[in-house]
Amino acid sequence: GAGVSQTPSNKVTEKGKYVELRCDPISGHTALYWYRQSLGQGPEFLIYFQGTGAADDSGLPNDRFFAVRPEGSVSTLKIQRTERGDSAVYLCASSLLGGGRDTQYFGPGTRLTVL
Amino acid sequence: DQQVKQNSPSLSVQEGRISILNCDYTNSMFDYFLWYKKYPAEGPTFLISISSIKDKNEDGRFTVFLNKSAKHLSLHIVPSQPGDSAVYFCAARGYNNNDMRFGAGTRLTVKP
């Protein structure tokens, strides 16, 4: 079935570089979420899109992180001037409508390693 | 701040026996709780949920219990099967909250 897909599956970059991580949500899902999972931790919320707009970006750690969803479907998480502490698995999830009771479906994640 | 805590990083049980995974939370505004299962190299998969108006929800071999006064929930798997071996995450959210708060996970190993 067509679940949430994320590309690339792995990304290795050098400190200070810029990276883009892509998420393709389930077709028809209006809500899209980005999470970050560090080693030994659970996923940590970063940002939530409802349609094209970022409805809640309170989880973004600083202004080096930015995400877009220009057509209300595919989303890109952008990280500028990467730091070693950005190394983590970045998970994307989508849900049909959003809201507290909607089930979120996760993609396999992108493992980012900053050297 | 850790609003959702899973204090047992790992659990090992014998096939056919019961697995009990525990989770504690601190935020009284949480009113919806979920369990996700995660296999290596895959994203978390939704397993079962419970609303704060209930104290039990059952789906096949999986049952979630909620004790609001203790701010504690647990996931029971019975009988446990080797295919249940995975990392289990507890998560919580408020009614109008967009973000889920996850625990650190418990790695369950079911031995044949």
> Bigger pLDDT: B107 or B29?
B107
**B43–A42 CB contact, under 8 Å:** no
The stretch B1-11 carries a mean pLDDT of 91
Do A40 and B101 count as a contact with CB atoms less than 8 A apart? no
Averaged pLDDT, B2-25: 96
pLDDT value of position A101: 79
Q: What is the CA radius of gyration of chain A?
A: 13
* Nearest residue of chain A to residue B97 (CA atoms): A100
pLDDT tens digits for range B17-46: 999 999 999 999 899 999 999 999 899 999
Determine what percent of chain B is predicted with pLDDT higher than 70.
Answer: 98
* A41 contact residues in B (CB cutoff 8 A): 104-105
* List of long-range contacts for B37-40, beta carbons under 8 Å, 24+ apart: B37/B84, B37/B86, B37/B87, B37/B88, B37/B89, B38/B86, B38/B87, B38/B88, B38/B89, B38/B105, B39/B86
pLDDT of residue B98: 73
Output the pLDDT for position B100.
86
What confidence score (pLDDT) does residue A93 get? 96
Nearest to A90 by CA among A35, A15, A42: A35
User: Is any Cβ of chain A less than 8 angstroms from the Cβ of B37?
Assistant: no
Q: Which residues pair with B107 in a beta bridge?
A: B10, B87
Q: Is the pLDDT of residue B1 over 70?
A: no
Tell me whether B21 touches chain A (CB under 8 Å). no
| pLDDT for A1 | 55
Give strand ranges (E) for A1-115. Answer: 5-7, 10-13, 19-24, 31-37, 44-50, 53-56, 65-68, 75-79, 88-95, 105-106, 110-114
* Type of residue found at B50: I
A24: left (phi over 0), alpha (psi -120 to 50) or beta: beta
CA angle, residues B94, B39, B99, in degrees to nearest 5: 15
- For A41-56, what is each residue's pLDDT tens digit? 999 999 999 999 988 9
Read off the tokens for A101.
């009771």
Read off the pLDDT of residues A62-110 as tens digits, 9 standing for 90 and up: 999 999 999 999 999 999 999 999 999 999 999 998 877 788 999 999 9
Inform me whether the pLDDT recorded for B94 exceeds 60.
Answer: yes
Q: Is B87 on the interface with A (CB under 8 A)?
A: no
